[in-house]
Amino acid sequence: MRLDFDADVEAFRAEFVDFLNADLPTAAEASAQRCRSSAHVPQWARRWQCALFDNGWLQPGYPPEFGGRNATVVEQYVYFEELSRRRIYRTFNPQGVGIIAASLIQHGTAEQQRRWVVPILRADITAALGMSEPGAGSDLASLRTRATREGDSFIVNGQKVWTSGAHDADVIFILVRSDPTAPEHEGISVLLIPSGIAGGDVRPFASACGLDDVDFNEVFFSDVRVPVENFVGELNTGWQVANSSLGDERTLLWLSYADRLQEFIDDWTPSAPIDRAPTPPSSWTRGRCASWDQQKWDEPPAETAIRHPCRSSNCLVSRQFKLQPRRLWAPLESRASSAEVRPVRSRRTTSRPTRVVGSRDTCEASVPPSPEALRRCSAT
């Protein structure tokens, strides 16, 4: 789907398309070495991410020193639209680039940014996110992993679970309970823990995608000594750090995957040829996709929101988008009790609030997406 943008935005698009045509990885490169986890970046993907960073295309809204070009909100929309049409990821370490580097840009010291941010953005190193614990999934207030200040170090004890890519990561960005006497939302802090540190134990376990696609891990900390310079932000402000970085991820990712989700729905509706789908869908899946496709049009489309960009034309972090991305794809997360298939209205005949121009077709996929890759890039 293409919106009608002004000449400056289309010039931005054309420059990015020229870059993609010259530097996009080939299917042969991707098939030679697959990404085995969300913190494993093979050589071809490392070259791709470095090229994006060096040319200001990794995070266009960032300043040049962090792999961007101070792009406007609408330019960033166009950027993600072109990536989505080619079914290619910017990075195969999504937590590192989308959450951890963003957090350190906002809350880290100059030394932390030098040591961690640029290497993560250039794929010189990879990072994992240590949030979930047994009994504390998305509820950060229930964290029990402790960090106690002892001289120039913090002593960490506890356990994390479902930590994507921890066995391949060079560093783990971990949320810990730093003040057990404070209100539960106020006693959380953030530490950077390098891999292989004494007292740390990473234990991978098989994922739902199969034994050869190990991404999830349990991570145990037993009297792990972390230097104070690896402390991120202010003491007991981990809640704010986590919310700001996760806000970035939630806003950016929807742009990357909205078109891709629509493609899956197009492939899996009852009216689509069976052989279009990447895997043969069940009749229930095809029926539910048809229902979702209609429900989506009952929601205010994302294209409406992009007409009302944030006050600042140049934004460093995506929380400034002032969009409502979840409105468009909320039906995908619903738990409706009925799988009834309702008539599907055609996208080409349904009245839309914005003028749409150009083709809805996607480009030839350079790197074919896999179900496990889609899962990893949505994990936190």
Three-class HEC string of 247-301: HHHHHHHHHHHHHHHHHHHHHHCCCCCHHHCCCCCCHHHHHHHHHHHHHHHCCCC
The better pLDDT of the pair 71, 280 is held by: 71
pLDDT in tens, 53-80: 999 999 999 999 999 999 988 898 889 8
Both tokens of residue 21? Answer: 């045509």
The better pLDDT of the pair 218, 213 is held by: 218
**pLDDT beyond 50 at 377:** no
> What phi-psi label fits residue 164: left (phi over 0), alpha (psi between -120 and 50 degrees) or beta?
beta
The better pLDDT of the pair 228, 28 is held by: 228
In whole angstroms, give the CA distance from residue 291 to residue 183: 44
- pLDDT the model gives residue 35: 87
- pLDDT the model gives residue 269: 60
Segment among 86-100, 204-218, 256-270 with least mean pLDDT: 256-270
Confidence band of 121 (pLDDT split at 50, 70, 90): very high
Domain ranges of the chain: 127-236
> What phi-psi label fits residue 151: left (phi over 0), alpha (psi between -120 and 50 degrees) or beta?
left
Residue 23 three-state SS: helix
Spell out the alpha helix ranges (H) of the chain.
7-23, 27-32, 43-54, 73-85, 94-95, 101-107, 110-112, 118-121, 238-268, 283-297, 302-305, 325-329, 371-378
User: For 213-236, what is the mean pLDDT?
Assistant: 94
- Looking at 81, 133, 249, 263, which residue is catalytic? 249
Residue 323: which of 227, 271, 247, 229 has the closest Cα?
247
User: For 327-340, what is the mean pLDDT?
Assistant: 35
In whole angstroms, give the CA distance from residue 27 to residue 47: 14
CB 35 within 8 A of CB 92: yes
Q: What does the mean pLDDT of the chain come to?
A: 75
Q: Is 249 a known active-site residue?
A: yes
In whole angstroms, give the CA distance from residue 121 to residue 97: 6
CB 238 within 8 A of CB 176: yes
Answer CATH for 127-236 from 2.40.110.10, 2.30.42.10, 3.90.650.10, 3.40.50.300: 2.40.110.10
Confidence band of 303 (pLDDT split at 50, 70, 90): very low
